[in-house]
């Protein structure tokens, strides 16, 4: 179990759950832009007379979206609640740095960040922001060293307890980008990085996964 009592479905369950397949087909039929998207995973919870499904998909350009579909069990009628961007920037909340779960995430950043500034004790954690994301939480941790500021993007998958460092770099310009367009958006990542939500990520784990069935 994880955020808001949703239960992640295993790959075996996705292959045999006919209700989920009805929900997925309804979502794609009503949103043609999702027809070529890759399925990352699915979570569900009972609601009223059926189930609400959160269907996570990755578009061809690396943007992650969440489709919400309600399926009524006795009639098998589906209702599309909406399709939403699972971005890295909206609805972020300031987290309590003293919280033990937040401290564990910060420890991961300190251990994995490549900047030599974090090898000593001369850095300062300026802020920790977080939001519900996929099957857990996304954290953006701002770190200062002298006049320089850095951001770490970290995903904590609460269904597996895996913690992924997605990106570490200067606050104004995440690392891993090879070239940008006139608007400053990254259009090509360096080798070893994968574009997810307009940021070049490394070690993206489940975010880069494609479920086939």
**Whether residue 62 is found in the same domain as residue 104:** no
* 128/42 same-domain check: no
Let me know whether 34 and 127 are in one domain: no
**Per-residue confidence of the chain (213 residues) as pLDDT tens digits?**
345 578 999 999 998 999 999 999 999 999 999 999 999 999 999 988 999 999 999 999 999 999 999 999 999 999 999 999 999 999 999 999 888 888 888 887 777 765 555 555 567 889 999 999 999 999 999 988 778 888 999 999 988 888 899 998 888 888 999 998 888 778 899 999 999 999 999 888 999 999 986
**Same domain (yes/no): 98, 175:** yes
Q: Which of 24, 54, 85 is the last residue of a domain?
A: 85
Residue with tokens 């890295």: 88
Residue at a domain's end among 85, 104, 131: 85
CATH number for the domain that contains residue 75:
3.10.450
CA proximity to 56, closest of 99, 24, 22: 24
My answer on whether 68 and 107 are in the same domain is: no
Specify if 213 maps to a domain. Answer: no
Same domain, 53 and 81: yes
Q: Which domain holds residue 67?
A: 3-85
């Amino acid at each position: 179990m994880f955020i808001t009592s949703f239960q992640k479905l295993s790959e075996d369950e996705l292959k045999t759950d006919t209700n989920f397949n009805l929900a997925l087909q309804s979502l794609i039929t009503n949103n043609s832009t999702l027809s070529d998207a890759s399925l990352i995973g699915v979570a569900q919870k009972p609601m009223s007379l059926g189930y609400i499904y959160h269907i996570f998909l990755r578009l061809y350009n690396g943007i992650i979206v969440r489709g919400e579909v309600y399926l009524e069990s006795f009639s098998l009628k589906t209702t599309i609640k909406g399709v939403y961007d699972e971005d890295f920037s909206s609805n972020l909340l300031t987290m309590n740095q003293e919280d033990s779960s937040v401290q564990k995430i910060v420890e991961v950043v300190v251990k994995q960040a490549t900047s030599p500034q974090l090898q000593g004790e001369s850095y300062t954690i300026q802020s920790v922001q977080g939001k519900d994301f996929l099957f857990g939480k996304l954290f953006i941790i701002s770190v200062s060293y002298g006049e320089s500021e850095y951001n770490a993007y970290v995903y904590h998958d609460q269904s597996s307890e895996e913690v992924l460092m997605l990106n570490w770099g200067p606050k104004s310009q995440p690392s891993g980008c090879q070239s940008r367009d006139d608007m400053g958006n990254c259009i090509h990542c360096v080798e070893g990085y994968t574009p997810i939500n307009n940021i070049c990520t490394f070690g993206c784990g489940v975010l880069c996964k494609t479920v086939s069935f």
